[in-house]
Amino acid sequence: MQLDELKAELHAAGFPAFTARQVFQWVYHKNNQDPASWSNVAKAGRERLAALYGLAPRPILERRGDAGGTRKFLIGLADNHRIETVLIPEKGHYTFCLSSQAGCALACAFCATGAMGFRRNLSAGEIVSQVLTLKKELGDYAGRINLVFMGMGEPLLNYENLARALRIVCAEDGLNVSPRHVTVSTAGILAGLDRLEHDFPLVKIAFSLNAPDPLLRSELMPISRREGLVGLLDYFRAHERRQRITFEYVLLAGINDSPAQARQLARLIHGIPAKINLIPYNPNPRLPFRRPDEAGIEKFRSVLLEKGLTVVTRWSKGEDIRSACGQLAVLTEDC
């Protein structure tokens, strides 16, 4: 719930006008979701709040950490679905990699979450609660965080809840994260991009491009048959954002990693202010793809650099704990 909504609801329930703000301060600023301990709220009010709202963050079922400090959390939802959230330490801040859906409907051929299928959308509360959980893990960390919607799911196919979550996350009364420090990664959903542009012009977009020609892209990413690559790139050309767009490109050996494909990619995105993140494929034993060798990755990168593009090779963190890009998949019997 956003602050205004809570204000209206609590007002109707007979609470004093300032209670909603107190609730927000406890829940978001103090990261305390236990009304019984809210000392500045009258006892009867605390009991009613506890009865009215389920505020406790969902439990962590499993934690895994890698040598570099990246940590992955398996979180249990009320209806027994499970999601994963990843905490990545960076210089001077943390990045939280959040899930927007349990599973994913897009079935990208190379992605472990895609292989597990779609379970359901996360509520705004389940999205925001991942941030609270990770902050708690860091001892109620109050420093800078970057949020990236690169965990499970396609955020733009859960737009309503994503937007509600972003409003709470970015509000001063909420988690007070600058929208400039939020990145929404998408396989490319035009209607959702348009809404995001309108509602959150400062939020960064990362677009999972992954193949330089429409046919190959449609083979790897079935959504591309409906949301065509050319149309998406035209959209990015026509709607220059305040922050450069990031093109993500997963490098798959023998499939999309040739120098000719690098040249094709450069031509395709010509004229769009962007940076390219090359993500060497993180293998999954169930999927038939391989990561190119280092020389191949470097060659691909150098072709793009020669074309004057900004390119970063993203060696995913958390590989050894299966929490690198594209590896989030809750291991259950049916996936």
Q: Which residues are the active-site residues? A: 84, 325
Three-class DSSP category at 201: coil
* Residue 182 found at the interface with ligand SAH (CB under 6 A): no
Beta pairing class for 60-65 and 182-186: unpaired
* Residue 185 found at the interface with ligand SAH (CB under 6 A): yes
Which strand (E) or helix (H) includes residue 264?
A: helix 259-268
* Residue 325 found at the interface with ligand SAH (CB under 6 A): yes
Contact 247, 275 (CB under 8 A): yes
From the number of C-beta atoms within 10 Å of its C-beta (0-12, 13-18, 19+), residue 286 rates as exposed
Sequential DSSP letters for 2-39: -HHHHHHHHHHTT--TTHHHHHHIIIIIS----GGG-T
- CA 8, CA 11: separation in Å to the nearest integer? 5
Contact 229, 221 (CB under 8 A): no
Q: Which is nearer to ligand SAH, 28 or 149 (CB)?
A: 149
Please give the residues from 271 up to 300 whose contact with ligand SAH meets the rule CB under 6 A: 279, 281-282, 284
Cβ of residue 105: shortest distance to ligand SAH, in angstroms? 10
Cβ of residue 253: shortest distance to ligand SAH, in angstroms? 12
- CA 244, CA 241: separation in Å to the nearest integer? 6
Among 84, 126, 154, 227, binds ligand SAH (CB under 6 A): 154
Q: Which residues contact 32 (CB under 8 A, 6 or more apart)?
A: 26, 38
* Residue 227 found at the interface with ligand SAH (CB under 6 A): no
Contact 255, 289 (CB under 8 A): yes
Cβ of residue 285: shortest distance to ligand SAH, in angstroms? 11
Cβ of residue 107: shortest distance to ligand SAH, in angstroms? 11
Residue in the structure block whose two tokens are 């941030």: 131
* Residue 110 found at the interface with ligand SAH (CB under 6 A): yes
The residue range among 66-74, 75-83, 115-123, 182-190 that interacts with ligand SAH, by the rule CB under 6 A, is 182-190
* Residue 99 found at the interface with ligand SAH (CB under 6 A): no
Among 85, 186, 224, 256, binds ligand SAH (CB under 6 A): 186
Within 17-111, residue ranges assigned H as helices are 19-24, 43-52
The residue range among 47-55, 125-133, 180-188, 239-247 that interacts with ligand SAH, by the rule CB under 6 A, is 180-188
Cβ of residue 327: shortest distance to ligand SAH, in angstroms? 6
Among 150, 229, 232, 303, binds ligand SAH (CB under 6 A): 150
Q: Which residues pair with 273 in a beta bridge?
A: none
Q: Which is nearer to ligand SAH, 3 or 189 (CB)?
A: 189
Instruction: Give me the half-sphere count of Cα atoms (radius 13 Å) on the Cβ side of residue 109.
Output: 15
Q: Which is nearer to ligand SAH, 28 or 281 (CB)?
A: 281
Cβ of residue 1: shortest distance to ligand SAH, in angstroms? 26
* Residue 250 found at the interface with ligand SAH (CB under 6 A): yes
Cβ of residue 92: shortest distance to ligand SAH, in angstroms? 24
* Residue 102 found at the interface with ligand SAH (CB under 6 A): no
Q: Which residues contact 37 (CB under 8 A, 6 or more apart)?
A: none
Q: Which two tokens stand for residue 275?
A: 């940076």
Among 10, 111, 145, 278, binds ligand SAH (CB under 6 A): 111
Distance separating the N- and C-terminal Cα atoms of the chain: 33
Summarize as ranges the residues that interact with ligand SAH (CB under 6 A).
Answer: 110-111, 150, 154, 185-187, 208, 210, 248, 250, 279, 281-282, 284, 325-327
